[in-house]
Structure 1
């Protein structure tokens, strides 16, 4: 098969932990052909199909110069066996536009994973609203008074922007309410922008667990991102320590409930974030943690993913 990965620049990859690289390595090991591009390389013109300037690559096994590139060429996306959208957040306007171009490519005959419409329909913070039985007390609002009432009820809260990633812009406000007004103004931009507010879950000390869902089924190990020192955020990008663990009974319950729903909508891969017993986010743009789980447990998540991808392609999904 010939796979096209839409991703961040190759020079930015940290291959010892990069999930997209793990996918590439497993696909290459199986004899599949690899090409890459970035979202800005995708174009459409009336009378033509969606195409991109793509770079064919071979993997060298050298951690320093890990790929060899072929000359750039223009190719129609429908000519690949699968197109994998692996661009990291933020989910900004350009990402949004890219999903529309990819949806047009689907109309041309391309097979895109995750499906572009599903990416648009599942903003990673707001997707949890559909599953209230699995989440803790949560508020989404622009209104500062709503936030004050929520704080008065729950005392210890987390505030975060809807378009953040890697723990960016997350604040905790305790029972004293210190700086709640200033934090609210910063995040909601004086009422111009919506904010997510959640009751603080003390189980964060045991980690913010990333439960991966592949082909509708939970991976049997999660990665608990554990905050370090006085930090409240477990995100690896914010200095959290990643510890792989078997799924708990509650994790299995969540994964088995959400997995078939996400798969039915065209989400071959999702990362469900769980603190304690509560889902806090559903990540669908470029879920990670493949290599950390493999390194610590031997569970080959990249193999599970390429298995699911090959099955989806053969089934015509």
Structure 2
């Protein structure tokens, strides 16, 4: 089969940890044909189908160079067996427009994973609000007074922008309210931007667990991203230490319940972030941690993903 990976520039991949690379490697091992492009290479002309200026890719099996690129070609997205949307956040206006082009391509027969509408309909931080039984007390607002009231009620809170990634822009404010006003002004930009406020979860010291859910079913290991030093953020991009652990029964039940709701909506792959027993985010754009889990446990996440992708294409 012929797969198009819609991703960041290949030259920026850190292949020792990149989950998209792990997907490509497994797909190539099964004989699938690999192509790649970036969202900026998508186009839609009047009276025509959505196309991409895409490049055929061969993996070399070594780290440098890790791929050989063929000559770019203008190809209809509907001509691929699968289009894998793996562009990293942020979910900005260009990402938003890309989902519209991908949705049009789907109307033309393209198979997009995760589906364009599902990506658009499930912002990674807001998506948790659909599942109040699995989350900590949370407020989404741009109103400074409402945010202050939430802090007064819960005492110890975390504030974050809705479009942040890798732990960027996350603040903790304790019962003393120190710097709360300044933090609100910084994040909501004078009441013009909506932010998220959640009750602080002290279990973060044991790790922010990434639970990967493929085809509605969680894989049997998680990557606990443990904050280091004085940090409250476990994100690997913020210096957290990733430790693979077996999936516990409580998290399995949570992941299965959420996965079985979201998979039928076109979310073949999601990554839940769980602190203690509470889901804090549902990652849908380009969930990661495939390689960290595989390297520490021997469980091949990419193999499970490509199995699920092939099954979805056959169904």
Q: TM-score, normalised by structure 1?
A: 0.99
Q: Number of paired residues?
A: 315
Rounded Cα–Cα distance in structure 1 between residues aligned with 2:226 and 2:149: 30
Cα deviation 1:62-108 (Å, max 9, x = unaligned): 11100011111110000000000000000000000000000000011
Query: Match for residue 108 of structure 1?
Result: 108
Aligned partners of 1:11, 1:239: CA distance in 2, in Å?
A: 23
1:1-317 paired onto structure 2 within 5 Å: 1-315=1-315
Distance in 1 of aligned mates of 2:169 and 2:62:
37
Q: Deviations over 1:182-205 (max 9, x none)?
A: 000000011100010000000000
Q: Distance in 2 between matches of 1:156 and 1:98?
A: 38
Shift of 1:247: 0.8
Displacement of 1:47: 1.0
Per the TM alignment, residue 273 of structure 1 is displaced from its structure 2 partner at its CA by 0.5
Equivalents in 1 of 2:195, 2:2: separation in Å? 41
4+ residue runs over 6 A deviation: none
Cα distance in 2 for residues equivalent to 1:306 and 1:83: 13
The structural deviation recorded for 1:267 is 0.3
TM-superposed deviation, 1:253: 1.1
SS at match of 2:287: coil
- Per-residue deviation, residues 23-55 of structure 1 (Å, max 9, x unmatched): 000000001000000000000011110001001
Distance (Å, rounded) in 2 between the aligned partners of 1:31 and 1:82: 14
Encode CA deviations 1:197-246: one digit per residue, 9 max, x unaligned.
Answer: 00000000000000000011001101011000000100000000000011
TM-score (norm 2): 0.99
| In structure 1, distance between residues paired with 2:171 and 2:138 | 15
Per-residue deviation, residues 112-146 of structure 1 (Å, max 9, x unmatched): 00000000000000000100000001011111111
What displacement does 1:175 show? 1.1
**Secondary structure, in 3 states, of the residue corresponding to 1:193?**
coil
Q: State the alpha-carbon separation in 2 of the partners of residues 189 and 47 from structure 1.
A: 42
Q: Distance in 2 between matches of 1:122 and 1:292?
A: 25
Flag structure 1 segments of 5+ consecutive residues without an equivalent: none
Deviates more, 1:20-29 or 1:142-151: 142-151
Task: Give me the whole-angstrom Cα distance separating, in 2, the residues matched to 1:176 and 1:262.
Answer: 39
Partners of 2:159 and 2:272 in 1: how far apart? 19
Cα deviation code 1:289-312 (max 9, x no counterpart): 000000000110000000000000
Whole-angstrom distance in 2 between the partners of 1:100 and 1:156: 39
